[in-house]
């Protein structure tokens, strides 16, 4: 996939996944890289930026027999942002669909 | 690449780009390694999947654009303070040596000089008053004339001494101010750029 395109959409994926439930970094990376082919490390800058912008908050949780997990939870502000981004994305998708669909 | 190599390279790359919170960022990747290793992946495989530390550092740089100038200012100030302290330590004994002995001599010179000026002035004033009073009491014109004229000579000497002391004091003060300025400039590293 086009890397520039992927970068923008990755943010929406991260937002939407964490809007559904809390994830810790590695878990999120695993889930996404199962479907999208990405450099796994690039998810951490996204997580950090969204956290800095108060769209996420983090908390640490010890797990039995494993390393501690830093969980990401969406904030109210994050949820609003996610809704709006998702709306824009589906509108854009529809427009592209119209364009591409015409060719068929 | 091993985990240690990856983290080291990432640390260097982050610091080169002046990214905030590099310790926190490294901790996130350490956690990633810990989980991936537990899932039976090799360090080399994990590194390959993460991507190059340099390009990751770049991603953190673009995201911390806002925090960057602030952080740079702080860094600059700190390095300046440390430099200034270092320079102070270097220059302090030198300044003390150079300043202490000549300084004492200088101060002595100024105090004595101005004391003499004051002294001749007060002396001449007393002589003038005494001459005037005694001349008037004895009604001797010659006594009056001789004492008053010597008093006037005393005033003349006072004026000459005053001018001399004024000029030398000004030069010396200017010299001391220049010296202190030079010291400060050295400490604060404000060399004039050619």
Per the structure block, which two tokens stand in for B194? 């050619």
Burial class (CB in 10 A: 0-12, 13-18, 19+), B131: buried
Q: CA of A68, closest CA in chain B: separation in Å?
A: 8
A61-101 pLDDT, tens digit per residue, is 988 878 889 999 999 999 999 999 999 899 988 998 998 88
Inter-chain CB proximity B34 and A48 less than 8 Å: no
A61 in contact with chain B, both atoms CB, cutoff 8 A:
no
Does the structure's ipTM exceed the value 0.85?
yes
How many beta-carbon contacts under 8 Å exist across A and B?
61
Proportion of chain A above pLDDT 90, given as a percent: 63
Alpha-carbon distance B75 to nearest alpha carbon in chain A (angstroms): 21
Length of chain B: 194
pLDDT at residue B194 above 50?
no
pLDDT band at B71 (very low <50, low <70, confident <90, very high): very low
Residue B184 confidence class, pLDDT cut points 50, 70, 90: confident
From the CB of residue A71, how many other CB atoms can be counted at a distance below 10 Å? 19
Q: pLDDT per residue over B125-178, tens digit each?
A: 888 888 778 777 777 777 778 877 888 888 888 899 899 989 988 898 888 888
In this structure, how many other beta carbons lie within 10 angstroms of the beta carbon of residue B53?
22
**Cα distance from A95 to chain B (closest Cα, Å)?**
29
- Whole-model pTM: value is 0.54
Give the residue with greater pLDDT, A79 vs B60.
A79
With beta carbons less than 8 A apart as the criterion, state whether B135 and B147 touch. Answer: yes
**In the prediction, which pLDDT does B75 show?**
56
Q: What percent of chain B has pLDDT over 90?
A: 27
Q: What is the dihedral of CA A14, A15, A19, A21, to 10 degrees?
A: 20
**Distance (Å) of CA B108 to CA A74, B14, B100, B136:** 76, 59, 12, 41
pLDDT of residue B135: 75
Q: What backbone torsions phi and psi does residue B3 show, to the nearest 5 degrees?
A: -60, -45
Q: Does A26 touch chain B (CB under 8 A)?
A: yes
Q: What is the pLDDT of residue B70?
A: 43
Sheet holding A66-74, edge to edge: A23-24, A66-74, A56-63
Quote the longest CA-to-CA distance of chain A: 55
Secondary structure class of B66 (helix, strand, coil): coil
């Amino acid at each position: 996939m086009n890397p520039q395109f992927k970068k923008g959409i990755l943010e929406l994926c991260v937002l939407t996944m964490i809007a559904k439930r809390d994830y810790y970094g590695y878990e999120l990376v695993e889930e996404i890289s199962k479907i999208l082919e990405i450099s796994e490390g690039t998810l951490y800058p996204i997580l950090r930026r969204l956290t800095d912008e108060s769209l996420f908050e983090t908390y640490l949780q010890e797990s039995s027999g494993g390393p501690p997990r830093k969980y990401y939870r969406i904030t109210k502000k994050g949820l609003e942002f996610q809704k709006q981004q998702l709306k824009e994305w589906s509108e854009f998708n529809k427009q592209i669909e119209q364009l591409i669909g015409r060719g068929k | 690449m091993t985990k240690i190599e990856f983290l080291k390279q990432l640390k260097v790359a982050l610091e080169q780009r002046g990214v905030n919170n590099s310790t926190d960022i490294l901790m996130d990747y350490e956690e990633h390694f810990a989980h991936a290793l537990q899932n039976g992946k090799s360090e080399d495989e994990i590194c390959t999947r993460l991507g190059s530390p340099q390009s990751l550092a770049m991603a953190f740089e673009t995201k911390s654009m806002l925090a960057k100038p602030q952080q740079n200012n702080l860094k600059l100030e700190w390095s300046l303070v440390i430099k200034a302290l270092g320079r102070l330590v270097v220059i302090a004994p030198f300044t003390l040596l150079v300043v202490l002995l000549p300084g004492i001599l200088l101060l002595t010179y100024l105090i004595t000089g101005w004391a003499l000026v004051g002294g001749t002035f007060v002396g001449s004033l007393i002589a003038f008053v005494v001459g005037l009073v005694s001349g008037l009491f004895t009604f001797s014109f010659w006594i009056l004339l001789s004492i008053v004229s010597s008093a006037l000579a005393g005033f003349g000497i006072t004026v000459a001494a005053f001018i001399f002391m004024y000029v030398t004091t000004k030069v010396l003060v200017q010299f001391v101010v220049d010296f202190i300025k030079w010291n400060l400039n050295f400490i604060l590293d404000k060399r004039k750029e050619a």
